[in-house]
Structure 1
Amino acid sequence: MTIRTIQHNAVTLARVESETVLITDTESALDLMATVQYQTQSRCLIVDSNAFDARFFDLKTRLAGDILQKFVTYQVKLAIIGDFSIYSSKSLQDCIRESNQGRDIFFVRDEREAIAKLSR
């Protein structure tokens, strides 16, 4: 795992890149939040979708809800980069659309879009 700091519009963002799954449950999400905040002082994370356990994208498991609630509770903004059109679940697409209308959690196509969403 590598963590890179990005400064944009006076906001410090943390870009987390990993070849392996980093977030498998709420504990691993909390660990990542703590590690990033300690290393970068940032409360805004950009993470690739492949860093999440595949169960995250199956809303029936409730994993996404539990993990995303931790980010909101601890006031850490999150942008997840990926191609979410590959998921056919209407409920997941509704969740993504609703999240993108908020202020804390974003599902985006690329790093540039993540930076724009998190630094506004």
Structure 2
Amino acid sequence: MPDVIEERAGVTVLVCDPAGPPVATVQDALDLIGAAFLGAQVVAVPASRLADDFFSLGTRFAGEVMQKFVNYRLRLAVLGDISRHLAASSALRALVHESNQAEHVWFVADLDALDERLRASAEQSGRRPG
């Protein structure tokens, strides 16, 4: 399945194929941002597509990627199990916790969890959820 734009919980989301190309460079992230400009507000990327450097905060790759999404006013949702990365880094655990408290970058288990977050975000902002 290719990356597809679909409506989820009333929000347009670019849902990235788990078998798609890895996101290993800032340019790879910018390519996803470009694809999202076809109308998506959120980009849902399986954690399996993110290079291990994304989860190793010392590389600064996660910060660069996350900042690109913020700059382009797109939300990023990382989908899937990242427990092995969390177990290895208290700094990553803190980043995930803080990110999940805000609106720009979320780490969620799957698309159903993303749908729940989108609905909750719409309710908090006073919009009617889809």
Same fold (TM > 0.5)? yes
Contact 1:21 1:52 in 2 (8 A): no
Counterpart residue number, 2:128: none
1:27 is displaced (CA, Å) by: 1.4
Query: Please, which moves more after superposition, 64-73 or 110-119?
Result: 110-119
Contact 2:3 2:20 in 1 (8 A): no
Over 6 Å off, 4+ runs:
none
Counterpart residue number, 2:106: 106
- Counterpart-to-counterpart distance in 2, 1:76 and 1:116: 18
For residue 104 of structure 2, what is the amino acid of its counterpart?
Answer: D
1:21 is displaced (CA, Å) by: 4.1
Whose radius of gyration is greater, 1 or 2?
A: 2
Counterpart residue number, 2:40: 42
Contact 2:9 2:118 in 1 (8 A): no
Q: Which runs of 5+ in 1 are unaligned?
A: none
1:96 is displaced (CA, Å) by: 0.4
- SS of the aligned residue for 1:42 comes to coil
TM-score, normalised relative to structure 2:
0.82
- SS of the aligned residue for 1:80 comes to strand
Query: Please, which moves more after superposition, 19-28 or 86-95?
Result: 19-28
- Counterpart-to-counterpart distance in 2, 1:8 and 1:60: 34
Counterpart residue number, 2:17: 17
1:116 is displaced (CA, Å) by: 2.3
TM-score, normalised relative to structure 1:
0.88
Number of positions where the alignment pairs a residue of Structure 1 with one of Structure 2: 118
Structure number with the higher strand fraction is: 1
1:117 is displaced (CA, Å) by: 1.9
